Amino acid sequence: MAMLSPWPVWKTSRMPELTRRAAPRHPEARRTSWRQWSVVTGVQRLLRLLTATSLLRWRRTPTRVEYSSPELQERERTWEYRVLAFYVVRPVKRPEAEAKEHKRWCRSHGLVGRVWVSHTGINVQVSGKAADCEKYADFVAARFGAKGAPMVCKLDPVREPAFPHLRVKAKKLVSLSDELQGLDMTDRGKDLEPKEWLQRLQGLDDGQPGKVLDIRNNYEWELGHFGPAKRPNTEELREMTPESLGLEEEDKETPLYMYCTGGIRCEFFGAALRRRGFRHVYKLKGGVQHYGNTVGAENWKGRLFVFDHRNSVPVGAEGQSEMQSCSLCGGGTAEAAWKDAWDYSSMSLAMLFGSVIAGSMPLGGGVVAFPVAVLFIHFQAGEGRDFALLIQSVGMSAASFAILYTKSYLCHTWLIFCCVFFGVLGMLLGFEKPLQSRGVAIGFTTTVSCFAVAFFYSKVLSGRKSENVPHINVSPWEFLEHQQFQHGRGWQYFGRHVPWVLTFLVAIFGVVGGYLSSNHGSGADMCSYIFGVFIWNYLAPESAQMSETMLTASSVVIMAVCSLVGSLVRALTGDISNQVLLCWAACAPIVVIGAPLGSLFLTSRMALILRRCFFVFVLVMFVSMGIWSLSDDLASWLAVAAALAMTIFCLATHFACFVQGPQKVDLPQV
């Protein structure tokens, strides 16, 4: 008779397993014989192991990944970021669920860029650290299995992430015209390796039949193309048809050679041509990017347009193009370079407003240059910083000369010297330990927004007192030599230590301002103004306080020197991109004139108009940078909100302690 087990039995499909786990604890259970192992139990365990998921995992092997990278130059070997571009044309049953998995993975690894998932496959253009990009390629290869051709991944080095944020959507990979929908993606032409493509082009030069089709937009062709390819007559791919490319009925037996940037557009347009009856359709495998990384720039003219912050990249090694090299931008002729510079002429309109602000307010033109360059010209954050420094080194230097020779506002040399000295130290620190691209966008939005709040508060306070006070140019160390200075708040709070306190505080503000300037091109001017208004003017005697005009003039000179130093450092390191130089060439003449005019026509009415324009600009910038750069990142929004809340709290404390508090005393005139 079998002994009843005192152990509870749970009603579950895993009851045999639970029973076996509990059995060894029972003294009688240890006598279990091997005969109790029934055939039915063994089959159940085997079926449990051989589930459908397990079988799929055993059967599926990752897609073979082929990396295609350009030959790295010496300075590019130190760059830790990469741009990863690839696609996979393969059926996807649930694009929405697949997109969520990719979004979760990319966010956890800090990747930014674009990932489109549809029923026909996936198209990827992301940027991040090199190791994370390679891990993501392996992640996609494992999910899509080993069917079909290997996955060609283009991996290009960049100084910083080439996209502002991450966008992962379930949408069409390519937008074709309505008449080219419903394609059979299993019949889309034959892939040609780059070397074989080059041989076919050489055969066309020798008189062999065939046509080269550029499956891109017309502006991409104008920047660079293969020699035999004709200019497309369309600005978008959805407008492109076989007729728009000049294909006729007799071309159905003619070899057609297609190429595009990365290869994805040729996959779909190749399927469209095959459905139309064109028999000999050939595609450049991996697109022009893979061709340049493998073969070089042979038969290619110009540069390659890319859809990220780089705007364009060379095909092959620098200088391999057939077109004459320009000393300014490194690609195309000098006439073409100045034509490209003229394309940035719209930026000069924005800098006209920025230059007037730079000469008449405690803000550099970088406050306008950085967001416009990043949001509308699609510069990287580092390129926006370089452009802001370059344009301020010209405009604010011109404004400084105008202030120096026409005004008498530069009377407080101690503040200027200290802010410049510590600002340069902060800039060198920022160049050595820069923020990431997303951190730069958050930092700029936070800095300018907080300064706008503080600037508005300072204008409210300026209406409570008169600025017509005789000014004495002194340093904190001279407080000890003048007996009347002992009536100031600084002496009341710190006594004979007030010079050390003020020097320590100006050092902190100077280093912070320089660090901010090294990341987004502006900050030293704002920090010097904040120090003068909220610290110096409330610790120094009334006769040594500085008016808004004095602080504005001082901030212009401080930012001019910091911009010159920053531009020189960036130029010596050789990291200023060609697009930044072209944009600077287009805007520099406007800024050289606008900044001095802003300093010359600094009247009370003009200042009021500019302040209102500045507040409107900050509001627009806050919304634009928030929506386009911060997107739906809750942590970034919380960081900005926390900084604004801290700024308001500090200003409220300042108002309570210095403006209405009991420490306020009547200071004697000197």
Residues marked active site are found at 260
Our CA angle for 377, 379, 382, nearest 5°, is: 150
3-class SS of residue 481: coil
Q: Could you identify the residue written with the tokens 């005789």?
A: 470
Output phi, psi for 344, to 5 deg. -95, 10
Neighbours of 523 (CB within 10 A): 30
Contact of 515 with 429, CB cutoff 8 Å: yes
Rounded to an integer, what distance in angstroms lies between the CA atom of residue 109 and that of residue 41? Answer: 44
Q: Which helix (H) or strand (E) holds 190?
A: strand 190-192
Find residue 477's DSSP bridge partners.
none
Looking up tokens 């620098």 gives: 318
- Cα–Cα distance, 280 to 259 (Å, whole number): 14
How many whole angstroms separate alpha carbon 509 and alpha carbon 528?
7
Closest-CA residue to 305 (of 268, 266, 331, 328): 331
- What is residue 152's DSSP assignment? E
Which token pair is 640? 């900005």
Q: Is 554 helix (H, G, I), strand (E, B) or coil?
A: helix
Alpha helices in 170-286 (DSSP H): 194-205, 218-223, 264-275
| Structure token digits, residue 666 | 């009547």
- Helix (H) / strand (E) containing 170: strand 166-170
Site of tokens 């195309």: 332
| DSSP string for 81-131 | EEEEEEEEE---S-HHHHHHHHHHHHHHTT-EEEEEEETTEEEEEEEEEHH
- Say if residues 583 and 377 touch (Cβ distance below 8 Å): yes
Residue 382: both structure tokens together = 């580092």
Q: Kindly state the tokens that stand for 61.
A: 């092997």
The pair of three-digit structure tokens given for residue 475, joined into one six-digit string = 């340093």
For residue 305, the cross-strand partners are 312
